A and B are shown apart, each in its own frame.
Chain A
Amino acid sequence: MTILALDWGFIIEKLIMIAIIVLASLGIALYTTFGERKVAAILQDRPGPSRAGPFGLLQPLADGLKLIMKEEIIPNAANKWLFILGPGLAMTASLMTCAVIPWGSAVDVFGRHVELQIADVNIGILYVFAVVSMGVYGIMIGGWASNNKFSLMSALRAASQAISYELAMGLALIALLMTTGSLSLKTIVEQQIQGNWWNIVYQPLGFVIFFICALAECNRTPFDLPEAENELNFGYHQEYSSMKLGFYLFAEYINMIMSSAIMASMYFGGYDLPFFNEASVAPNIAALIGVGTLLIKIVLFIFLFMWIRWTIPRFRYDQLMNLGWKTMIPLALFNMLLTGAILLAKL
């Protein structure tokens, strides 16, 4: 059979890795919801969820079970197929980002050399952008298919916000790419390990712009206009119930994890533990330390996201657009010009 002339070991290896990474992201997202409630509680000086299990640790499982068991309602006037497609698309798009993130250096398992990355494509960053722009469809389709004016308004808000901030994000990224000279996330991380400094040293302004745009892309406060309860009732997922609503809420947390991983990889050395020589321990242990380091960086970023959410109130919609178009884009252009000038001067 010439059809099946494939390297089956390779395919199985990748499938196992996809399964592990997707399940791990779901697990982390589950506990991120718990973390969010706990952080909110601490910032507001109250105990937070504490009844289910020790320290309330079983709370996310109880929440998940509740969402699954709830009655599922599809409105009569809704477009049924698209109504179901919406949350699925949102979830798929947010999970697909994990394909190009390097989770660690390579490990040797059963004589196979396994890279801890699903696909090291040479356009890694652009792939992330493509997937992020797909995520908008999940929200738009869901909001439209609900056949509710509030949902539609909120979906349009979400889409225009995402498109506006994608522009500044891309411009901030171009400045970074000018210094790294590569689009592959693996190469960018390796450069930071080999070089002396993390990219944040070369691109402080670029990072700030990127971080603000990431907040807007994830629909997090102060940019959570699509979910502004006091103007839009609930947001684009108003008509959703049961696990479909759960998917929308969950997709937001997975987006947070993925954008934290990308920011850590691009600006903060990825799986690089500072002041530690990876060559001094066995490669497998070094890889595990790398994965742990990246996870810690992700958790720190997620905490920052939550800290901002429970500290800063949300913008008005025109303020949001003003910030995006009149502050972020000119700043990003300036940053690009500055980087270009410095690179030229160093030649």
Chain B
Amino acid sequence: MSTLEILFFALSAFALVSAIMVLVSKNPIHSVLWLILVFFAISGHYVLLNAQFLAIVNIIVYAGAIMVLFLFVIMLMNVKEDKEPQKKLWVKLVGVVAGGSFLLLLVALVKQTTQIEGKQVLLKDGVIGLIHPLGQVLFNDFVVPFEISSVLFLSAMVGAVIIGKK
């Protein structure tokens, strides 16, 4: 096994264990904290793919901003683990069936995709995730959608300020 493979499997195991802990934890705050660890593991995978920009943006946006809002809401709701009502057995069963079918669907979709057939992931030396090639792609090939979404974000921010000024 190369160092890269060891890192890959370690990160995958870390991501899976954290993801399971998100579901298993009784305390919602613990769930959110485990979810943050999942994002870190995924960012680690991005780094292995040499997509540094994606990795860091994943941390800034998801682990840094969105999860803080999650924590905010849950802390203010003051959810206690012992007050949480237990779900009925049949509700749990329905959940298992629904989740299982969704997993089946995803696996079937991935198996059917012909685009990724016979292609290998560029580990360690791909350059598409670095900031320069990414900028080239965004500003040459996808400039219109990119600009539209930027304007959308900017207007959301300006809108927040305007609403605050009223």
Contacts and interface: CB of A to CB of B under 8 A. Distances in A.
Interface string A125-151: 011011001101100110010000000
A122 interface: yes
Chain A interface bracket (under 10, 10 to 19, 20 to 34, 35 or more): 20 to 34
B112 to A, nearest CB: 36
Contact of A3 (B1, B60, B130): B1
Interface in B1-19: 1-3, 6
Interface stretch (B67-75, B91-99, B103-111): B67-75
Contacts of A129: 56, 60, 64
Given A2-B2, A6-B3, A156 B72 contact: yes
Given A3-B6, A134-B63, A141-B33, A121 B52 contact: yes
A288 interface: no
Nearest to A159: B68
Contacts of A167: 157
Interface stretch (B82-90, B116-124, B138-146, B158-166): B158-166
A141 B64 CA distance: 14
Given A134-B64, A167-B157, A326 B165 contact: yes
Given A3-B3, A159-B72, A183-B131, A133 B65 contact: yes
A130 B160 contact: no
Interface in B111-137: 130-132
A70 to B, nearest CB: 28
Given A156-B76, A325-B160, A329-B157, A123 B56 contact: yes
A121 B164 CA distance: 38
A5 B130 CA distance: 25
A330 B159 CA distance: 12
Nearest to B43: A130
Contacts of A6: 3
Interface of A: 2-3, 5-6, 79, 82, 121-123, 126-127, 129-130, 133-134, 136-137, 140-141, 144, 152, 155-156, 159-160, 163, 167, 183, 325-326, 329-330, 333
Interface of B: 1-3, 6, 29, 33, 36, 52-53, 56-57, 59-60, 63-65, 68, 71-72, 75-76, 130-132, 157-158, 160-161, 164-165
Given A121-B52, A160-B72, A326-B165, 11 more contacts: A5-B2, A82-B33, A130-B63, A136-B68, A140-B75, A141-B33, A144-B71, A156-B72, A156-B75, A159-B71, A167-B157
21 contacts: A3-B1, A5-B2, A122-B132, A123-B131, A126-B53, A126-B57, A126-B60, A127-B56, A129-B56, A130-B63, A130-B64, A133-B59, A134-B59, A134-B64, A136-B64, A137-B36, A137-B68, A140-B68, A156-B72, A163-B65, A325-B161
